[in-house]
Amino acid sequence: MALSQTQKQMSQLEFEQFRDLIYQESRIALRPHKKMLVMNRLAKRLRELNMDSYGDYYKYVVSTKGRQEELARMVDAITTNTTQFFREGKQFEFLDGHVWPHLLDLKLGSAAVRIWSSACSTGEEPYTIGISALEAQRRSPGRPVSILASDISDSALRTAREGIYPEDKVSGIPVVLLHKYFLKGAGRVKVKPELQRLIEFDKINLNDPFQRQLKGFDIVFCRNVIIYFDRQTQEELMMKYYEVLRPGGYLFLGHSETLHGMATDFEFIMASVYQKPTRR
């Protein structure tokens, strides 16, 4: 049964129930003005499940069966997956000019430089990191690079693993790099195997205690993520990133994000870039 206009309304109580559940699962803090966003994002799930109201959908999501089959899809529907190749170019200029020359140096050993794109969305960020690393290695061969790319969204990860994008998604990539790292098809491009092999994709919820399993990263990207979290969640996440980074490792945030005022031992390097001290 299709939803009618009157049935599509979400009560304030229902919004608060969804808001609390989303926070519990993802730590995304939805402010009151996000009610319309939640309604619009979840309307598709109601249609696909042939449900008449948000109240019925909530009851299903919190049921034993719903938690197993639908909860992840609900969080997926709410998650924002806005990204692009070479987003925030100044950070990649910093990688090219300051980070790669040091980290790729064979004097540091032969082990791979380990990078984590911790909210990789549909893959544009980790593939851009991989392109940057491969270009640096072409200029000055050195240590190999290994990239872990993770997200909470199953649908975003499916796109990322496939590495297939509409042509307009790669319009900002310099032509020479586009030819090097992508295969062109009918209105679409596909990431070449050389680039795809650098990256391992995995589903990771940043709300989980990932620092117990993940260690020894040289670089962590967490861009345009913490703006959706409250201050407590932000500080908890930064503490976990601090643990998984090696001394001297770098943390990259989004251009509008800062650690200013947080209880953290990271050192400021430049706007949205921080470093774990080599000694304490």
The ranges assigned to domains in the chain are 12-78, 89-275
Q: Work out the percent of the chain whose per-residue pLDDT is above 70.
A: 96
Catalytic-labelled residue, pool 41, 87, 188, 246: 41
Catalytic-labelled residue, pool 27, 73, 151, 223: 151
* Identity of the amino acid at 64: T
Question: In this predicted structure, what is the pLDDT of residue 263?
Answer: 83
**Residue 158 known to be catalytic:** no
* Identity of the amino acid at 19: R
**Confidence (pTM):** 0.83
* Identity of the amino acid at 259: L
Question: In this predicted structure, what is the pLDDT of residue 250?
Answer: 97
For domain 12-78, give the CATH number. Answer: 1.10.155.10
- Residue 239 CA to residue 25 CA, distance in Å, equals 19
For residue 92, give every residue at least 6 positions away whose Cβ sits within 8 Å of its Cβ, in sequence order, or none.
Answer: 86, 128, 132
Residue predicted with more confidence, 188 or 27? 188
* H/E segment holding residue 128: helix 124-139
Identical fold for domains 12-78 and 89-275, yes or no, is no
Question: In this predicted structure, what is the pLDDT of residue 134?
Answer: 96
> Would you state the CATH architecture of domain 89-275?
3-Layer(aba) Sandwich (3.40)
Q: Does residue 132 have a pLDDT over 60? A: yes
**Residue 151 known to be catalytic:** yes
